[in-house]
Structure 1
């Protein structure tokens, strides 16, 4: 371990001790401080912050994408907390934070989980179910994700949980299979029932803000089904009355999954509607539902979204398009919560929170 330094976060006034060998985001999580973040790989910019006090030369950054932190922004004093190592005391201004979430962090835990099932739910997505072997429990909030170590490597991949927390210690994931993806290859061709995997979590801030009562619009695509399904299951279980609607996009009908359960949730959650859409339906799809990019469908059917909260989860192009559409339709930026799936030098979406 290296030397330790004090990092203070403003405007929330929280101080933590950070080891030089840790990035600041990791140190905050270990101290129960839930900072806004997404990929943890320096690609999504969710944890971008401004250095108010401290020498920029005393901040060392691990490898990151200049799309997330352009050189001009770094020169102005901005940094990525998931990549930043502090070599002196610092004061950091959080550019994105949530008062309700920041002090509600659950302790990070490492564990071992056993593969219970690995079933195809579309032509290119799997429903992976794990059961925790040790420790006895890893607590999480619906919508959060776990890191899973790829067997035989030091690499880990992040995947959102589709289930609600329970004493059974079960974790469900909806994972897209990509050609030559490191975890995809394992999941597609090598995993066996009973295999044990190293996991760690929880991570992520794609969780329901309990203090809010606004109606909710969910927008998702691909493996973005997982965290939204987790949130909807939680709302049904707890009897939440926030009149959610879920817009989910695929190219063809073979890209849709959990249709039966989502229709059943329409009966369980007051005011809930599920609206799937296909962007490229073919004749054999026999499709009579919505057609078009999911963001265009939202714009067509929801001309006024003032007063809503929005949750968006999926690949970066969809998320970026959704953010622009939702704000144009009246959703306040502060009330839009999103997980943008990023990559680690692999096909888009492999590292899907």
Structure 2
């Protein structure tokens, strides 16, 4: 371990202690301060912040993409908290934060889970269920995600919980299988009931804002089903009065899953509607919506002012949905999202 320094976050006035061997984001996680973040690998810029006080030369950055932090922005004092190591006391201005989430964070914990089930739900998605059997109890909020360490490789992959918190330490996931995916191929070819995997959680800020009473639009695609399912299950369990609807995009009818449960929410969540849409409709046995899910939302939602949205899925879908929601009157501060990226090396890296 290295020397420790104080890092203060403004405008919220929260201070943490950061070891030189840790990134600032990692230190915040361990102390239950839930800073905004995304990839945790210096590629997405979700944790970009500004150094208000402190010597920029006393901040060392791990490898990062200059698309996330261009050289000019770094010279002006901006930094990526997921890559930044502090070698002196600092004051950081948070450029992207949610004070409710920031102050209600749960400290990350490491543990071991045992596989209870690994079932196909579509031709390329698995429903993985695990139970924690070792380590400090991992707690989470619906919509958050867990890091899995791929056995024998040391690679880490992140997946959102699809269930709500429980005392049994059980976690559910909906995971897409990619042909070259380090974890998904392990899941598809090797994982059996009883296997044990090292994990760490919770991460992520795409969680329900408990102080909000607005109606909600959920938009998802692919494995974005997982966090949306967790959020919807949480609303149903709470007996919410907030109205909600879910728009979910898939390529074909064979790519839809959890249909029965999603339709059952119509009797548990006020005004709930489940609207699936097929982007590659071939004319067979389907009388629902067709086309890109954002176009379906455009058709069904002419006015969204005063509402909240949760958007989870592939980055192009998420970006298109955010633009549409803003056009329809939704405040961007009330759009919460999780981009499901595939892991890869940054195309252009900083020193």
Tell me the TM-score normalised to structure 1 length: 0.95
2:191 is the alignment partner of 1:172: no
Map residues 35-50 of structure 1 onto 2, 5 A cutoff.
Answer: 35-50=35-50
Counterpart-to-counterpart distance in 2, 1:174 and 1:36: 23
2:330 is the alignment partner of 1:323: no
Question: Which residue in the other structure is 1:24 paired with?
Answer: 24
Cα-Cα RMSD: 1.2
Counterpart-to-counterpart distance in 1, 2:79 and 2:267: 46
Deviations 1:181-217 (A, max 9, x none): 1101101111111000011111111110000100001
Shift of 1:78: 1.3
Structure 1: gaps (5+ residues):
347-353
Shift of 1:137: 2.6
2:122 is the alignment partner of 1:119: no
2:315 is the alignment partner of 1:313: no
Question: Which residue in the other structure is 1:56 paired with?
Answer: 56
Question: Which residue in the other structure is 1:343 paired with?
Answer: 342
SS at match of 2:200: strand
Deviations 1:153-202 (A, max 9, x none): 22211100000011111100000011111101101111111000011111
Question: Which residue in the other structure is 2:348 paired with?
Answer: none
Question: Which residue in the other structure is 2:292 paired with?
Answer: 293
SS at match of 1:7: strand
Counterpart-to-counterpart distance in 2, 1:186 and 1:333: 38
Map residues 1-353 of structure 1 onto 2, 5 A cutoff.
Answer: 1-135=1-135, 137-284=137-284, 286-345=285-344
Counterpart-to-counterpart distance in 1, 2:148 and 2:337: 21
Q: How many residues align?
A: 345
SS at match of 2:68: coil
Contact 2:33 2:107 (8 Å CA) reproduced: no
Contact 1:117 1:129 (8 Å CA) reproduced: yes
Counterpart-to-counterpart distance in 2, 1:200 and 1:259: 30
Contact 1:295 1:318 (8 Å CA) reproduced: yes
Shift of 1:71: 2.3
Contact 1:43 1:342 (8 Å CA) reproduced: no
Counterpart-to-counterpart distance in 2, 1:86 and 1:282: 56
Counterpart-to-counterpart distance in 2, 1:287 and 1:76: 54
SS at match of 2:122: coil
Shift of 1:136: 6.3
Question: Which residue in the other structure is 1:351 paired with?
Answer: none
SS at match of 1:120: strand
Counterpart-to-counterpart distance in 2, 1:343 and 1:60: 26
Structure 2: gaps (5+ residues):
346-351
Shift of 1:125: 0.7
